[in-house]
Structure 1
Amino acid sequence: MNIGFISTRLAGTDGVSLEAAKWAKVLEDEGHRCFYMAGEFDKDKPKERSLLVKEAHFEHPLVQETSRGCFGIKIREPSITKKIQQIKDKLKKHIYEFIRSFKIDLLVPENALAIPLNIPLGLAITETVAETGIPTIAHHHDFFWERKRFLTNAVWDYLNMAFPPHLPSIQHVVINSSQDNQLSLRTGISATIIP
């Protein structure tokens, strides 16, 4: 099976990158092939199995600009909505290209559907899964409600749609029982716990 990991970045020693690497090793040891799409990679990530998309990174200037227009405020400017949609549309094209080019059978978004560091990426993944029905394991590390800076926002519509999405082809995985309880309580979504 060809498994496609998608994240804002798969580089360095942050928890998301380390967990993705751990999952990829286990899956490859089981005979699967892993592929990657992100805004940043470690140098050792095989280029022939990776798709670098700068706008996937949460530090991309356009993504940062949209974030500033979404958090710490309660009303979103129409220009921010337009930018979010433009970036989302571009990312969605890249996700479709990623799935097609690497013949992806299963997507594994790594924290991209839990914390809104890159809203356009979460929306793009959600729409792609909704349109294709591709089997997906959404691996969540921390949710927006666990971070104070995301609680005052002008994007409840996007958060309710994609962070995380409630779609039939998505299985959700969390890292502890507290997250499992909160996810179920807040969204009605059940998850598997893999510490």
Structure 2
Amino acid sequence: MGHEVHTIAGKYGTPLVSLPQERQFTLPNIRFDSREQKWYESQVFPFLQKHPPHITPKRKKIILDRLQFEGKEVANRLFEYVQNNSLDVIVAQNTNAMPMTLLGGMGVYELATQRRVATIFHHHDFWWERSRFSNSHIEGLLGRIMPPTDPGLEHIVLSTYAAHILRSIKRVQPKLVPNCEDFDNPVVKDEYNADFRRELGFRDSDILVVQPTRIVRRKRIEDSIGLMGRLIALHPEIADRVHFIISLYQGDEPDENYIGEIRQMAQGLGVQVHLISDRVASERGTDEGGRKLYTNRDVLANADLVTYLPIWEGFGNALLEAMAAKVPVVTTTYLVYKTDIGILKFRNVEILDVYGDDGHLVIPDQAVEEVYELLTNPAVRQEAVEHNFEIAAREFGFGKLRERIGTILEDYGDEIRASRKRVARSKQAYSV
């Protein structure tokens, strides 16, 4: 859109080739896995520890004082970068919604509220939505900085539900920018990913059902396996062809038992499960052993069906990626799907988010038969994926994203211009 973009991060997982190196700022102590973050987590989030330490009021004050002091140091580094590069506005990606980087959150809070640098907070999920951050020793601090509600700040959320919650709890008026996908350049089969099946040991006739997500409990992967178990029980003629693939890793919500539970359940139902995160990366390449690495999009390009049965999602990025790849989807009607996605009349297999006494999703026979139809009737599949692609491209494509970003920057323009003047004056004062 013509803006000069800089990035600020704790680390870059892979080289960021889209920007010059001089516009990439790295601050290691705001990493999710920094030594500082791990120490604070061990002190203030009891549910993250098997044996949490006892925190006295005096100890709590010491921790808070240290956190705020070190946060101010981060703010100083950030403000220096803002000054040196004459930055007009900061876009804070989830820094002040989830305490995954407490020093990053403190630094951005200080930058936005004390240094008064124009800041747009883009919230994906909120800390009060995660049980592992409940009953913390810093709830008062989190309530103040995650997110802050000072005048002159802008807030963006992913869904109408999140907007309602933020208005109710924080009394702010957030803008809405849903997850979007590049439907102008969608994932397709090409020379690179055409050998995916052969490389991973699948036949051309195999049915690849992909769970294109991280392995975390709220994704309810056990329900996807339950669905596959029902499918092959009702249609045993395709049982040996159905392969259930989980493409990504455990991520930032570790659970040592979950993978074992998934494998045990799949074995009991006769579902062939494949965990392939060691062959999936953010960029194409090779691993240390010289094996070919694929992106999650390459996996989707070879999928016959995507399962997406979460109990909760901030929006549904994997859902959009699947529709962009023209892969049929079976999904639960989770809350945000109901309010922001399902109303657009996609042709997905929709399973109501109703759970039985055993805790598992109630899967009606009709849903199983709809899945079977999509897997075995090419005409039905083609009609569904083309219909979904057309609607999703219109509602969640980059054209809609450019429009929303442009409107937000225009509406926030007065504060950006005022911030630009404040930063310019601070540089003069600093030089004197």
Where does structure 1 lack aligned partners over 5 or more consecutive residues? 1-29
Structure 1: distance between partners of 2:81 and 2:8: 7
Residue 176 of structure 1 is matched in structure 2 by: 159
Contact persistence 2:72–2:110 (CA under 8 A) = no
Deviation at 1:184, TM superposition (A): 1.2
Specify the alignment match of 1:80 in structure 2: 63
Q: Answer whether contact 2:30 2:102 (CA < 8 A) is retained.
A: no
| Contact kept? 2:96, 2:147, Cα under 8 Å | yes
Counterpart for residue 154 of structure 1:
137
The equivalences for 1:37-186 within 5 A come to 37-41=8-12, 42-45=14-17, 46-72=20-46, 75=55, 77-186=60-169
The structural deviation recorded for 1:44 is: 2.1
Where structure 2 has 5 or more consecutive residues not aligned to the other structure, the ranges are 47-51, 179-432
Question: What's the counterpart of residue 224 of structure 2?
Answer: none
Equivalenced residue count is 166
Aligned to 2:3: 32
Contact 1:67 / 1:118 at 8 angstroms: preserved in 2? no
Q: Is the 8 A contact 1:145 1:151 kept in 2?
A: yes
Q: Secondary structure at the match of 1:65?
A: helix
Q: Take 1:103 and 1:129, find their aligned partners in 2: how far apart are those partners?
A: 15
Sequence identity (%): 25
**Residue 128 of structure 1: how far off its partner (Å):** 1.5
Q: Secondary structure at the match of 1:105?
A: coil
- Can you list the C-alpha shifts for 1:53-98, whole angstroms capped at 9, x where unaligned? 0011121011110111111279563442243134212211111112
Instruction: Using the TM superposition, name which of 84-93 and 114-123 deviates more.
Output: 84-93
Q: Counterpart in 2 of 1:7? A: none
Determine which structure has the larger strand proportion and give its number: 1
Q: Which has the larger radius of gyration?
A: 2
TM-score by length of 2: 0.37
Decide which moves more: 103-112 or 184-193. Answer: 184-193
Instruction: Give the structure 2 partner of residue 190 of structure 1.
Output: 173
What are the Cα deviations for residues 37-63 of structure 1, in whole angstroms up to 9, with x where unaligned? 110123125321011000111210111
CA distance in 2 between partners of 1:191 and 1:54 (Å): 30
Superposition deviation, residue 110 in structure 1: 0.5
RMSD of the alignment, in Å? 1.7
**Other structure's SS at 1:152 match:** coil
- Whether the 8 Å CA contact 1:55–1:87 is kept in 2: the answer is no
| Mapped partners of 2:107, 2:86: distance in 1 | 18
Q: Give the aligned partner of residue 18 of structure 1.
A: none
TM-score, scaled relative to structure 1 = 0.79
Distance (Å, rounded) in 1 between the aligned partners of 2:116 and 2:69: 23
Name the residue aligned to 2:228.
Answer: none
> What amino acid is aligned across from residue 44 of structure 1 in structure 2?
L
Q: Partners in 1 of 2:11 and 2:83 — Cα distance?
A: 21
Contact (CA 8 Å) 1:37, 1:98: kept in 2 or not?
no
The one-letter code matched in structure 2 to 1:34 is V
Q: Distance in 1 between matches of 2:109 and 2:69?
A: 15
Task: Measure how far apart 1:124 and its partner are.
Answer: 1.6
2-structure distance, mates of 1:90, 1:136: 18
Partner of 1:21: none
Deviations along 1:141-195, one digit per CA (max 9) or x if unpaired, are: 1100111111110112211111000011211000011111111111112211110
* SS of alignment partner, residue 33 of structure 1: coil
Deviating 4+ runs (over 6 angstroms): none
In 2, Cα distance between the equivalents of 1:154 and 1:86? Answer: 17
Task: Report the Cα offset of residue 132 of structure 1.
Answer: 2.6
Equivalents in 2 of 1:43, 1:190: separation in Å?
36
